[in-house]
Amino acid sequence: MQYFVQQMVNGLTLGSIYGLIAIGYTMVYGIIGMINFAHGDIFMLGAFVALIVFLILTSLFYSVHVVLFLLVMMVVAMVMTSLYNWTIEKVAYRPLRGSFRLAPLITAIGMSIALSNFVQVTQGPRNKPIPPMVSTVYNVNGISISLKQIIIVVVTVSLLALFWYLVNKTSLGRAQRACEQDRKMAALLGIDVDRTISITFVMGAALAAVAGTLFLMYYGVVAFSDGFVPGVKAFTAAVLGGIGSLPGAMLGGLMIGFIESMWSAYFSIDYKDVAAFSILAIVLIFLPSGILGRPEVEKV
C-alpha cells in the first residue's frame, strides 16, 4: 500500500507539470481552433531561460534563499517565453488565420523545429545539469515526499485557480470566451480580437515557462530535445481532458502522470508511453470530446 501511495505522489507531481503545459494548448485551441505545436518547445525554452538565470544568480550571489531564486527564474522565463510566443503569433500565425486549416499546422511545426534547432545551436546538444536546488525530503508513514514535489503541486494549484478566475470572472476572460464562440461577432461588439488572441498566447507561454522552471528544479537537467515528448504528452492530456476546458487540461495531465507512474511501477517502464496513448484512444472511443469537453456545434 505504501508503494502504491508513493507512486500516486510521483504521478501527481508529473501530472501537474503536464497539466500546466496542457492549459496553454487548450487556451489557444479554444479561441482560434488551432493547435500550437511549438508550445512544447516554448516549455523547453522556459527551462533553458531558467537554467541561464540560475547560473547567473549563483555566480553573483552565494547566500540567496532558494524561494527567491525560483521566483526570479520563473519571472524571467515567463517574460522571455511570452515575448517569443507573442512574436510567433504575430509573425507566423496571424497572417494564416483565415487560410486553409493545414497552413497554420505546418507553420506551427516549422516554428517548433526552428526553436529547437536554435536552442541546440546556441546552447549545445548535450544535457545541461544543475546542482540540486531543493533537497529536503519528508518521510510520512514510510512515504517519501520531497519539498520539490510540494512546491510543484502548490504552484500548479495556485496557477490553475488564478487562471480559472481570469477566464471566468474578468473582462479579459469574457473577451476570450466571446472570441471562442464567434470571433466575427465579438469584433462587431467592440472586442479587439487580435489583442485577445495575442494575450492568450502570452498566458499560455507564461504557464509553459513555469512548467519548464519546475521541470528543471525537479529533474535537475534539461536538453534541447526536451520540448517534444512533454509537448506531445501535454497535448494528449488536453485532448483526454477535453480540449478547450481548463479543468479538463489539468485533469488530463494528472491522468497521464498517474498512468505513467503506475505503469512504470507495476509493469515495464519501456511501455509507459504506449499505455498513456492507449488510454487516450480508449477514452476517445466512448467520449469523443474528452472527459470534460463539450461537443462541437457547427455554426450554420
Q: Measured between alpha carbons, how far is 35 from 24 in angstroms, rounded to an integer?
A: 10
Residue 297: what pLDDT? 53
What is the reported pTM? 0.90
Q: Measured between alpha carbons, how far is 283 from 191 in angstroms, rounded to an integer?
A: 37
- 3-state DSSP: the chain helix, strand, coil percent, rounded to 5? 75, 5, 20
Residue 209: what pLDDT? 94
Residue 296: what pLDDT? 58
Domains (range + CATH), the chain: 2-286 (1.10.3470)
Residue 294: what pLDDT? 66
Identify which has the larger pLDDT, 52 or 99. 52
Least confident of 81-95, 254-268, 271-285: 271-285
Identify which has the larger pLDDT, 267 or 21. 21
Least confident of 15-19, 83-87, 244-248, 290-294: 290-294
Q: Measured between alpha carbons, how far is 247 from 47 in angstroms, rounded to an integer?
A: 24
pLDDT at 82 over 70: yes
pLDDT at 260 over 70: yes
Residue 75: what pLDDT? 93
Q: Measured between alpha carbons, how far is 45 from 226 in angstroms, rounded to an integer?
A: 9
Span 145-163, average pLDDT? 91
Q: What dihedral do alpha carbons 86, 45, 66, 146 form, nearest 10°? A: 120
Span 53-69, average pLDDT? 82
Residue 43: what pLDDT? 93
Span 159-163, average pLDDT? 89
